[in-house]
Structures are given as structure tokens and as C-alpha cells.
Structure 1
Amino acid sequence: MAYRPMSLSDLAARLIANASDTIRWKLVWEFLEEYRWEPPDLQPSLLQAEPESVGDERWDALLAALAEHLAAKHDLAPPPWTAPRVLRRPWFPAELASQRTDALVWAPAAFRKHGVYLSNKDLEAA
């Protein structure tokens, strides 16, 4: 079987199959790592197809934030499917108060827009 890079739709399917937050975060970091290694002209195609709902609005909003954040790095508009995936109550995935403060200050614009407060440092460290 030939290698095929993970798309956000593929990531959503893997998140659905794994209910553990620890495993889910590892899958998100795996997606980001694979994404970084893909040629820049291929990267936006990995964001276009609308992912199936994970069944948890927080993770659905995270996928939208990821798509919008990564599309912006290419000066592209976010995929249309991202617009409705916005949390009414903010989500701070970090457990420590210091990490939450860091996320409040450093969350990329796309993540803040979708209500997901994840530090830019966390995304880069992945």
C-alpha cells in the first residue's frame, strides 16, 4: 500500500475511533508532524474535505481551528466547513493554570475565533 498523508478528515476518523484524550492529542500531533513534511503545494489539499463530526463539539472546533490556522499560513481563506464550528464556551485543553494563562495570551487567532485556547507554543512543539 502506498503512503498517503493524513488529511483532517482522516484525523477526525481516528479521533472518533479513540475516546482517550491522551491518544487524541497524540493523533493531533501526528497529523501536524505529517503535515509539516508534505510539500507546501500539497498541504492545503489536506484541509479541504469536511471532517465527520467527532461527537464532541470541542474536538470539532479544534479541527476547524487547525484548518483555518494552517490555511492562513498559505494566505488562503479557511475551508467553508469551518465557519459553524465555534464553541459558545471557551475550551482550555491545558490543565495547569500557568498553561491556561499562556494559552490565553498565545493562542493563534484562528483558535481564539473557534473558542479553543491552545498556545501557539504547544502547536509548534508538537
Structure 2
Amino acid sequence: MTIDELAEAITEALDRYGWPEAVRGVKQFCIDFENADDCVRREMLNAEPRSTGSRAFDAMLAGLAEHLAFHHGLRVPRWALDPRRSVDDEWWFATDTPTLRPLCFVDTPAAFAGRGVFLPRSALANV
């Protein structure tokens, strides 16, 4: 699955089930990424993903690409560095449990936090 295909799956999950199911798709993408070789990993991140219709998820995809590329010694795709792929007006938490938000502040990787997206590291599998 490419990150563009993930964007399509997120859009569908948001329409049908809501954002918690869309976050689970991100976790599966991370698992698939971990199991791929570097050539496939580059292909997974290379093409700019379509918009999910959610500024938060578009920012999450950019953070995901930067995070995965950094941790696997790959070049961060140019599209992921676009400042429009961030949540400018407010922070977005990938949890609907307010008591987990402090954990998100501490546990969120920098590539996500810098875009205003906060999620527990566990949402990214073992990355």
C-alpha cells in the first residue's frame, strides 16, 4: 500500500466509521512499512497523497512520511515538508479520551507534534 492509497482508505474510513478506524489504518501502514525493503519503502512514501478531506489527517500523513523516512534512513519526500500539511489553528489529538492527552504530549514523535498532531506512539505500531 502506498501513502496515497492510505489516504484513500482514511477518507473511506472517515466517511463510514469515523476517525478511530482511520487511525487504525495508519498503524497497519506502519506494520507494512516495517516489513518492506528500502526500495518498496521509498515507493510507499514517494507520491504525494490525495487529500483525505481532513486537515488533521493530511497533516498526520506528512508527519508519518517524515517520521518513517527519518527512522529508516530515507530522504523525506518533498511533499511532506509542505507547511500547508499542518494543523495551524488548533492541536488535534488522535484520542477522544481527555485523560490521554497529557500522554500524547509526552509520547508523540516530533514529526507529528511539529504539525499540531498528537497521538500516542502506540498508534504507530513498533516504529
**The TM-score by the shorter chain falls in which range?**
0.7 to 0.9
CA shift, 1:47, in A, is 0.6
- Please provide the CA RMSD for this pair: 1.8
How far is 1:109 from its partner? 0.7
Aligned pair count reads 121
Q: Aligned to 2:23, which of 25, 48, 58? A: 25
- 2:31 is equivalent to residue 36 of structure 1: no
CA distance in 1, matches of 2:25, 2:123: 14
Any unmatched runs of 5+ in structure 1?
1-5
Q: Which residue of 1 aligns with 2:114?
A: 113
User: CA–CA distance in 2 between the matches of 1:125 and 1:99?
Assistant: 19
After superposition, residues 47-66 of structure 1 pair within 5 angstroms as 47-66=45-64
State the shift of 1:56 in Å.
0.9
Q: Which runs of 4+ in 1 moved over 3 A?
A: none
Q: Which has the higher helix share?
A: 2
For residues 118 and 25 of structure 1, the distance between their equivalents in structure 2, rounded to whole angstroms, comes to 9
Task: Give SS of 2:112's match.
Answer: helix
Q: Which amino acid aligns with 1:72?
A: F
Relative to the length of structure 2, the TM-score reads 0.84
